[in-house]
Structure 1
Amino acid sequence: MAPKSDSAEAIVLNFVNEQNRPLNSQNVADSLQKFNLKKAGIQKALDNLADNGKISFKEYGKQKIYLARQDQFDIPNSEELNQMKEENAQVQQQLDEQKRAISEVEGEIKNLQSNLTLEQIRHKEAKLQKEVKEMEDKLVKLREGVTLVRPEERKGIAEMYSEKLSQWRKRKRMFKDVWDAITENLPKDLKEFKEELGLEYDEDVGVSLQSFSGLLQHGKKRTRDQ
């Protein structure tokens, strides 16, 4: 149900007085959409209010600008204005202090959130104690001369390691034979040709067959010494 004209005028008058700034009918219509007032009804209410002297208006060509009557408002004198400025400054200072206090509290909360909870500390402590116990047990066995790796297991690992080294050595030799045959009469630079093919030697990736063979010999020597 659409509002009556007098209630529409009351709504429009209240809005114009609250805003206390220059307004046209479109400004008022946009702001009062929630009251389901049509623009024509708002225009009529503005004109009636202006004709009755309840609001002021000025015409700029075809545009009418409406404004609340200023004589209804208490205009503060210079002393009151100065007092208001002082009060405003005090309120602003209090606001700044509150902001600093909030910032400090937020910083404390952030620090607390970054710390471990008591439950997390206990869990981590239990885990570390378990790791320490396992390492201590292993150390005791080593001091007592307990063999952690059985001889047959060590032998099997050494044989497998030796087999892999043999395969490595065999493949290096095969590659060298093929490479020498291909590049024997090749006119281009061998280094450039190698890069074109995307080939990498062991040395290019930081490994050496000799160093791995040395590990096997060192293991055999250590076994004999024991």
Structure 2
Amino acid sequence: MAPKSDSAEAIVLNFVNEQNKPLNSQNVADSLQKFNLKKAGIQKALDNLADNGKISFKEYGKQKIYLARQDQFDIPTSEELNQMKEENAQVQQQLDEQKRAIIEVEGEIKNLQSNLTLEQIRHKEAKLQKEVKEMEDKLVKLRKGVTLVRPEERKAIAEMYSEKLSQWRKRKRMFKDVWDAITENLPKDLKRI
């Protein structure tokens, strides 16, 4: 449901006064889309407000620029401006202090989050103690001279190793024979290939 022209004028007047800068009808229409106002309605409201003297306008060719009336705003004196500047500086200083405090607290939070919880420490301690016990048991066995690999397993591994080594030598020899046959009549030095 479209708003009435009175409410459209009130919305437009409020917007122009809030912005307090030169605006054309397109700027106002773009900014007031959320109120479902059409550009023609906004243009009419701007013209009515200008005719009633609630806002002022200037024409630049075909373009109309609308301005909030400046006499409705309180203009502070130089003393009030200086006081506002001092207050602004104090507020800015407080803001900087708060930012520094926030940074310190965030750093402390990150530091605390990087530390392990008591439960995690206990779990890690139990795990490490278990590993230490296993290594100590293995060390005791090694010191007693207990063989961890049985002689049959050792012999089987040695035989497998020698078999693989002989297969490797055969293949190396076969490759060398083929390579020599291919490169026999090459004019270049073989090391440069």
Secondary structure class of the residue paired with 2:56: strand
Deviation of 1:41 after TM superposition, in Å, equals 1.8
Give, in whole Å, the separation in 2 of the partners of 1:120 and 1:12.
62
Give, in whole Å, the separation in 1 of the partners of 2:36 and 2:116.
57
Q: Does 1:166 align with 2:159?
A: no
Q: Rate the CA distance shift 1:20–1:183 in 2: closer, same or farther, 3 A.
A: closer
What is the count of residue pairs matched by the alignment? Answer: 192
Counterpart position of 1:199: none
Q: Rate the CA distance shift 1:54–1:157 in 2: closer, same or farther, 3 A.
A: same
Give, in whole Å, the separation in 1 of the partners of 2:132 and 2:138.
10
Give, in whole Å, the separation in 1 of the partners of 2:182 and 2:33.
88
1:85-121 Cα deviation digits (max 9, x unpaired): 0011111111111111222222222233333333333
Within 5 Å, give how 1:66-215 maps onto structure 2.
66-189=66-189
Deviation of 1:34 after TM superposition, in Å, equals 2.0
Q: Rate the CA distance shift 1:3–1:188 in 2: closer, same or farther, 3 A.
A: same
Give, in whole Å, the separation in 1 of the partners of 2:183 and 2:80.
101
Give, in whole Å, the separation in 2 of the partners of 1:92 and 1:68.
30
Deviation of 1:3 after TM superposition, in Å, equals 2.2
Q: Rate the CA distance shift 1:175–1:43 in 2: closer, same or farther, 3 A.
A: closer
Q: Gaps (5+ residues) in structure 1? A: 190-223
Give, in whole Å, the separation in 2 of the partners of 1:188 and 1:71.
99
Higher relative contact order (CA 8 A, sep 6+): 2
Q: Rate the CA distance shift 1:25–1:184 in 2: closer, same or farther, 3 A.
A: closer
Give, in whole Å, the separation in 1 of the partners of 2:58 and 2:182.
100
Give, in whole Å, the separation in 2 of the partners of 1:64 and 1:225.
84
Secondary structure class of the residue paired with 1:146: coil
Deviation of 1:84 after TM superposition, in Å, equals 0.2
Give, in whole Å, the separation in 2 of the partners of 1:40 and 1:82.
44
Q: Rate the CA distance shift 1:14–1:161 in 2: closer, same or farther, 3 A.
A: same
* Identity level (%): 96
Secondary structure class of the residue paired with 1:112: helix
Give, in whole Å, the separation in 1 of the partners of 2:78 and 2:34.
40
Secondary structure class of the residue paired with 2:28: helix
